[in-house]
């Protein structure tokens, strides 16, 4: 590691970025019924202003990143809904364009805001809950054929980075990481986890080690998982990759793939966040169930903190 690289990495650890919350939650709070195979991506075609409003609400709450409404967007999904491939690519690009527009409006008073193009797992387009199980029974080339066009369409629209999120499976992660390196767009990469394993049952140490050699992954961590599983995942991610961690849990509910709803939700325990940051989390926010009000509470909590110090031992030679 060169001296300049070391300084850049240390700078990444010293900075703390507040992410947004769940796009579906913000839309539901507008009275939108979110469901169906396309989930929030449906509004890219039908009601894009609703998405823009959600982005603005998160920025106004204190978020520094708008995560696009493209988690469930893909050529396969849009074509299944009756569109052609060109329309599918245009809608994916629209997700980035909408977020950039909201970012530019809010950046007048808050410079430095970012747009992260959301990339969900293969299982998300299946709509059967397999995004929380992984091990889809498909070959690596099929995963490449699925993710490649969507990554290219999103990259062409000009996001600041990718948010590769809720990945349940080490095998899928390896495919996406290789595609990211081909494109050269920076990305954070987060798994969905249960305890010390991915949702597909692979040890987290192995899952994060698979990201350690990536040229484009700038942070690794966990999202859409129980808040009590976050700390262990953050510690493992930092230990295996030497990168800053990303942490944005869901509200602790259980996903019902039949009704497309969550149950048994709870507020984010803000007392847990300090430990995540001490362990190396530098990108912190919320996922499903957390709306702009929750992000505002998180921002107030973090605003009262001293700037986070670099935890000893995090910066290590590759």
Q: Are 276 and 298 in contact (CB under 8 A)?
A: no
pLDDT band at 58 (very low <50, low <70, confident <90, very high): very high
The contacts found for 26-30 with CB under 8 angstroms, 24 or more apart, are 26/54, 26/57, 26/58, 26/291, 26/292, 27/51, 27/54, 29/291, 29/292, 30/54
pLDDT tens digits for range 251-295: 876 656 665 565 555 678 899 999 999 999 999 999 999 999 999
Q: Which two tokens stand for residue 11?
A: 């700078």
224: left (phi over 0), alpha (psi -120 to 50) or beta: left
Q: What is the pLDDT of residue 47?
A: 86
Report whether 276 contacts 247 (CB < 8 A).
yes
pTM comes to: 0.87
pLDDT 10s digits, 235-262: 999 999 999 999 999 987 665 666 556 5
What is the number of other CB atoms lying within 10 angstroms of the CB of residue 263? 10
């Amino acid at each position: 590691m060169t001296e300049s690289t070391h300084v850049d990495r240390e700078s990444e650890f010293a900075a703390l970025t507040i992410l947004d919350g769940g796009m579906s939650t913000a839309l539901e709070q507008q009275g939108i019924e979110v469901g169906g195979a396309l989930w929030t991506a449906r509004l890219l075609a039908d009601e894009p202003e609703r998405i823009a409003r959600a982005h603005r609400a998160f920025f106004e709450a204190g978020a520094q990143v708008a995560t696009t409404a493209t988690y469930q967007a893909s050529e396969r999904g849009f074509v299944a809904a009756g569109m052609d491939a060109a329309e599918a690519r245009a809608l994916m690009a629209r997700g980035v364009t909408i977020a950039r527009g909201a970012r530019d409006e809010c950046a007048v008073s808050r410079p430095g805001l970012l747009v992260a193009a959301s990339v969900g797992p293969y299982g998300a387009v299946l709509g059967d809950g397999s995004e929380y199980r992984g091990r889809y029974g498909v070959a690596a080339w099929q995963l490449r054929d699925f993710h490649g066009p969507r990554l290219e369409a999103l990259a062409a629209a000009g996001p600041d980075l990718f948010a590769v999120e809720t990945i349940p499976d080490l095998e899928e992660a390896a495919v996406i990481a290789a595609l990211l390196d081909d494109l050269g767009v920076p990305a954070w990469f987060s798994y969905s986890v249960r305890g010390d394993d991915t949702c597909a049952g692979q040890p987290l140490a192995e899952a994060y080690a698979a990201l350690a050699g990536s040229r484009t992954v700038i942070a690794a961590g966990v999202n859409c998982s129980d808040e009590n599983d976050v700390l262990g995942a953050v510690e493992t991610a930092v230990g295996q990759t030497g990168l800053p961690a990303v942490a944005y849990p869901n509200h602790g509910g259980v996903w019902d793939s039949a009704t497309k709803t969550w149950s048994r939700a709870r507020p984010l325990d803000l007392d847990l966040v300090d430990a995540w940051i001490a362990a190396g989390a530098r990108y912190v926010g919320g996922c499903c169930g957390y709306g702009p009000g929750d992000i505002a509470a998180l921002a107030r909590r973090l605003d009262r903190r001293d700037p986070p110090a670099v935890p000893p031992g995090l910066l290590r030679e590759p």
